[in-house]
Amino acid sequence: MRHEDVLQALLELTPSKQAHVVAQWPGLTGKTSEGIDVTARTPKELRRFMAERDPGMLRWIQGFEAGDVFYDVGANVGGVTLAVAGLHGSQVTSVAIEPSVASFESLARHLSLNKLLGFVIPLQVALLDRTGIEKLNYNSTAAGYSLHAVGEAVDHEGRPFVPAEVQLIPTYALDDLIETLKLPLPTQIKVDIDGYEESVLRGATRTLSRGSVRALFVEVVDHDRRGTRLASVSEILGRAGYELVESFRHGEGGDEGIGYVSDHLYRTVVT
CATH of domain 51-268: 3.40.50.150
Q: 6: Cβ–Cβ under 8 A, 6 or more apart, which residues? A: 28, 30
C-beta of residue 110 within 8 angstroms of C-beta of residue 38: yes
Residue 48: per-residue pLDDT = 82
CA angle 188, 193, 199 (to 5 degrees): 85
Share of the chain above pLDDT 70, in %: 85
Question: Which of the given ranges, 32-46, 148-162, 252-266, has the highest pLDDT on average?
Answer: 148-162
Ranges of each domain in the chain: 51-268
Residue 181 has pLDDT above 80, yes or no: yes
The stretch 60-70 carries a mean pLDDT of 97
Question: Which of 50, 54, 58 has the alpha carbon at shortest distance from 3?
Answer: 50
For residue range 89-147, what is the model confidence (pLDDT) as tens digits? 999 999 999 999 999 999 999 999 999 999 999 999 999 999 999 999 999 888 888 88
The strand pair at 132-137 and 166-173 is best described as antiparallel
Cα distance between residue 269 and residue 214, in whole Å: 9
Residue 4: per-residue pLDDT = 56
